[in-house]
Amino acid sequence: MRRGGRERGGGVIRVFPLQGRAILSTSTYVEWNGLRFLLDVGPGSVSEMLRRNLSPTKLRAVLISHSHIDHFWDLVPLLWIRHLWGQRRALTVICPRADLELFQWCAEVSGAPELAEIRPIGPGEGCALSGLKVRAFEVDHERGRMALGYAMEDLGKARLRVEELRSRGIPESEWGRLARMERVSMGSGWADPRDFVYVKRTKLVYSGDTRKCDGLLEAARGADLLIAESTYLNESLRDLADQRGHMTIGDAVGIALEAGVGNLLLTHISMRHTEDEVREEVAKVVPGSASMRIFVGGSEFEL
C-alpha cells in the first residue's frame, strides 16, 4: 500500500521483507548503498534468502533485537553456510549486551566462530557500520529481558536551499560553487555556503518487538523508513497485545504519523490475520491526507 511520497535522503535503500509473521520468524534484508545486512534473523531466513537469490555470503552484518528464538535462530545456519561456501570475511553481529553469551554460543555451534565478529551493545550506545551510524534504543517488550530497537543514519548528501538562493538573487551559475562549500562574491559582500547548504541524511528505524512506547516514538522522528512490529489487528486485541508486549496496527501507524515518518513497513504480524485484513485495517486508521507510504507483505521495495 503506497500513499504519496517524500524527498529521499542521501542514499538508496532496497528492502526485502523475508519473514514478516510473528512466532514463525522475523527478518528483513536491507541493501543500502551496497551494504547488505539483516534486521533480525529468525528461523527460515537463510532458506528464504536462497529462494530469492539473495546470497548469504554478501551480507556484512546482522542486527539482532532480542533473544526470542524467532528473531535470532538462523544465525547458526547463516554462519555455517558462509563457511561452507568459502566466505572468510567475518559477519558483524550487533546484539544486546545482556545476551552476549547466547550469541557467542550460536557462533560456536555453527562450527565457524571465527566468522562472527560479535559487537554487544546497550541502550543509548552506538557504533559505526560501513559508513552508517547505528544507535540502539530500549523498547518495551518483555519484563526482565532486554529488547532493543535500532536507528541507523548514513553520512548524508549536501542539498541546496533553493528558495533561499532565489530570494537572495544568487544566479544558478554560482550554485555549484556553493554546493562545493565555496564562498561566492556578491557585489560588496560574499555569499556564505553555510547559509544555503544543508545535509540531508537517510534514516532507517527498526522497532524490534515492543509495546507502544516513547523510546520508539523518539527514535522514529523524521525517519525515512520505519520497520515496525504490528502483531495484532486492532483494539479488540488490546489486552493480548499489552500482555504479550506487542503493538496493534493502529499503534504502529500512530507512531509513524506522529514521528513524521516517510515510509512504514508493517511486520511481525500475527498468523491469525490475513494480509487482506491488515490492508483493510490500515485503510481505516490512516487519514486520507497522509503522505506516508505503507508497505504490507513480502514484496521488495525501494526508497
Whether 150 and 212 share a structural domain? yes
Mean pLDDT throughout 264-277? 93
What integer pLDDT is reported at residue 165 of this predicted model? 84
Over 90: is that where the pLDDT of 203 sits? yes
Lookup result for grid cell 515492543: 210
Over 90: is that where the pLDDT of 288 sits? no
CA 279 to the chain's CA centroid: 21
Over 80: is that where the pLDDT of 2 sits? no
Domain of 126, CATH number, reads 3.60.15.10
For residue 91, what are the CA distances in angstroms to 33, 87, 94, 279? 18, 10, 10, 36
Over 50: is that where the pLDDT of 39 sits? yes
Q: Where in the sequence is the domain holding 131, given as residue range(s)?
A: 13-156+201-302
Lookup result for grid cell 518495551: 140
Percent of the chain with pLDDT over 90: 72
Query: What's the rounded Cα separation, in Å, for the pair 217 and 224?
Result: 14
Query: What's the rounded Cα separation, in Å, for the pair 193 and 128?
Result: 28
Q: In the structure, what pLDDT confidence band is assigned to residue 5 with cuts at 50, 70 and 90?
A: very low
pLDDT in tens, 94-137: 999 999 999 999 999 999 999 999 999 999 999 999 889 999 99
Whether 248 and 152 share a structural domain? yes
Bigger pLDDT: 287 or 1?
287
Mean pLDDT throughout 11-24? 79
What integer pLDDT is reported at residue 24 of this predicted model? 67
Whether 70 and 26 share a structural domain? yes
CA 228 to the chain's CA centroid: 9
What are the cell numbers at 161?
A: 536551499
What integer pLDDT is reported at residue 22 of this predicted model? 62
Percent of the chain with pLDDT over 70: 95
Lookup result for grid cell 548503498: 33
What integer pLDDT is reported at residue 11 of this predicted model? 58
What integer pLDDT is reported at residue 171 of this predicted model? 85
Question: 170, 195, 220 — which closes off a domain?
Answer: 195
Provide the residue type at 248 as one letter: T
For residue 294, what are the CA distances in angstroms to 137, 170, 183, 290? 23, 39, 42, 10
User: pTM of the predicted model, to two decimals?
Assistant: 0.87
Whether 119 and 182 share a structural domain? no
Whether 191 and 282 share a structural domain? no
Q: Give the number of other CB atoms < 10 A from CB of residue 218.
A: 12
Phi/psi for 17 (5° steps) reads -65, 115
Query: What's the rounded Cα separation, in Å, for the pair 88 and 84?
Result: 10
What integer pLDDT is reported at residue 180 of this predicted model? 82
- For 84, residues 6+ apart whose C-beta sits below 8 A from its C-beta are none
pLDDT in tens, 157-194: 778 888 888 888 888 888 888 888 888 887 778 888 88
What integer pLDDT is reported at residue 290 of this predicted model? 84
pLDDT in tens, 211-224: 999 999 999 999 99
Q: Give the number of other CB atoms < 10 A from CB of residue 186.
A: 14
The distance between the two most distant Cα atoms of the chain, rounded to a whole number of Å, is 71
Query: What's the rounded Cα separation, in Å, for the pair 168 and 277?
Result: 52
| Total structural domains within the chain | 2
Whether 129 and 176 share a structural domain? no
Mean pLDDT throughout 51-67? 96
Question: 141, 171, 195 — which closes off a domain?
Answer: 195
What integer pLDDT is reported at residue 124 of this predicted model? 97
Over 60: is that where the pLDDT of 9 sits? no
Lookup result for grid cell 504519496: 4
| DSSP label of 163 | H
Over 90: is that where the pLDDT of 6 sits? no
Return the SS3 of 67: coil
Supply the mean pLDDT for the chain.
91
Q: In the structure, what pLDDT confidence band is assigned to residue 240 with cuts at 50, 70 and 90?
A: very high
Q: In the structure, what pLDDT confidence band is assigned to residue 205 with cuts at 50, 70 and 90?
A: very high
For the stretch 214-217, contacts whose Cβ atoms lie closer than 8 Å and that sit 24 or more positions apart, written own/partner, are 215/123, 215/137, 215/138, 215/139, 215/140, 215/149, 216/137, 216/139, 216/149, 216/255, 217/255, 217/258, 217/259
In a domain, 4, yes or no: no
